[in-house]
Amino acid sequence: MAKSFSSAIYLDANATEPLRPEAREATMAALEQGGNPSSVHAVGRAARALLEDARKCVARFADRSAECCVFTSGGTEADTLAIHALGHSIGRQVLIGATEHDAVRKAAPEAGIVPVDEQGIVKLDVLRTMLDQVPSALVCIMAANNETGVCAPLEDVAAICREKGALLHIDAVQSAGRLCLSQEAMAGASIALSGHKLGGPKGAGALLLPDDAPLSPLLPGGGQERGRRGGTPALPAIMGMAAALEASQTQDWDKIAQWRDDVQQRAQDVEAEIVAANVTRLPNTLNLILPGVSSQTQLMMLDLEGFCVSSGSACSSGKVSASHVLQAMGFREQAGQALRISLPWNVTEEEVVAFAEAYQRMAKRLKK
């Protein structure tokens, strides 16, 4: 399969996965199909049928009925809708993990923050204490962190939420398609998904709700999505998302995890520090700290050599800031010296080896 990203070596899958061929095919089919799923005529009905097929497919991710799935424009909207509809709009207090994505943090600026330990794992005893104060809170925890790949102890979090009577919202944007989430952890939770992080096109996401009860929409519009999200659904992107989700189920992530571990070893050889090395991480994600060298310098240097990697969160100007995720884990100046490598579904061994060598060269040159 041809690479979608010029001649550069693309190791930034957590920013966006390359388009999967299955997703491309489904997207193209929907573009050819045309029609508005809300129309009553034949063309509209045909579009509607495709949309509902996609809905069933996406809902299956959490073993839900299709009615529980609300399509959105992406992960950010899914998280924002969950916090609005299941939290703020019904007067429910919101608690979020300290390393959540900005999609969650900015949607709940007043939220209580559940701290994480130095490995990035949410502190369960603190969560329990916080829920003693606000038992009916909406608790937002990401299944896996976008910067470190650290996987949350979701089953434990879910059990605590059930015990206290809290509602759980899982940001599964990074973990979906890469990690098997247990149905036990997801039971009763709302779940945010993003199409392009699965290898679909950009522009589609989904919120899987605990049930099909009505909710207060962010966009009332024409009452689409059973009144839960107005606006004509982006059918081509949604079809691509469903196809990508399905295709990702057969991905050999063990092989990719092995390559990730190889890079990790080569990085350790040049004295890089591995973030959260001792906990369960996404199979494709590696976060490396090169002491004394700013993330910005590392990114520029590798970019100039043709490697696309990432760091912390860049704002829309492209300015690289210290990572709030690493800061929450207790890193200080090193929070500004980290690099995220996230292997895409179609990475090759040659690419991984080439990167490891480039990283070693860079480290030897810049290390202070």
What is the DSSP secondary structure assignment for residue 36, as one 8-state letter? -
The answer to whether 304 contacts another protein (rule: CB under 8 A) is: yes
* Binding range to another protein, per CB under 8 A, among 42-50, 147-155, 245-253, 319-327: 319-327
Amino acid letter for position 158: A
> Using CB under 8 A, which of 6, 249, 278, 317 touches another protein?
317
Known catalytic residue at 140: no
Among residues 57, 69, 140, 315, which one is catalytic? 315
* Binding range to another protein, per CB under 8 A, among 33-41, 195-203, 265-273, 311-319: 311-319
- Closer to another protein by Cβ: residue 41 or 319: 319
CB of 6 to another protein, least distance (A): 13
Write out the DSSP string of 107-153: T-TT-EEE-B-TTS-B-HHHHHHHHHHSTTPEEEEESB-TTT-BBP-
The answer to whether 296 contacts another protein (rule: CB under 8 A) is: yes
Write out the DSSP string of 299-338: HHHHHHTTEE-B-S-B-TT--B---HHHHHTT-SGGGGSE
CB of 103 to another protein, least distance (A): 14
Alpha-carbon distance of 135 to 183, in angstroms, equals 23
Q: Other CB atoms closer than 10 Å to residue 32's CB: what's the count?
A: 8
> Phi first, then psi: what are they for 197, rounded to 5°?
-80, -10
* Binding range to another protein, per CB under 8 A, among 30-38, 48-56, 91-99, 292-300: 292-300
CB of 120 to another protein, least distance (A): 24
* Residues 195 and 238: beta-carbon distance below 8 Å: yes
* Binding range to another protein, per CB under 8 A, among 49-57, 193-201, 274-282, 301-309: 301-309
Residue whose C-alpha is closest to residue 358's, from 289, 263, 273: 263
Residue whose C-alpha is closest to residue 77's, from 166, 241, 203: 203
> Using CB under 8 A, which of 321, 330, 358, 360 touches another protein?
321
CB of 8 to another protein, least distance (A): 11
Segment 106-135, which members bind another protein (CB under 8 A)? 106
The answer to whether 316 contacts another protein (rule: CB under 8 A) is: yes
CB of 301 to another protein, least distance (A): 6
* Residues 283 and 339: beta-carbon distance below 8 Å: no
- Closer to another protein by Cβ: residue 96 or 122: 96
The answer to whether 303 contacts another protein (rule: CB under 8 A) is: yes
Write out the DSSP string of 213-268: -----S--TT-TTTTTS-S---HHHHHHHHHHHHHHTT--HHHHHHHHHHHHHHHH
Residues that bind another protein (CB under 8 A): 106, 296-297, 299-301, 303-304, 315-321, 365-366
Catalytic residues: 315
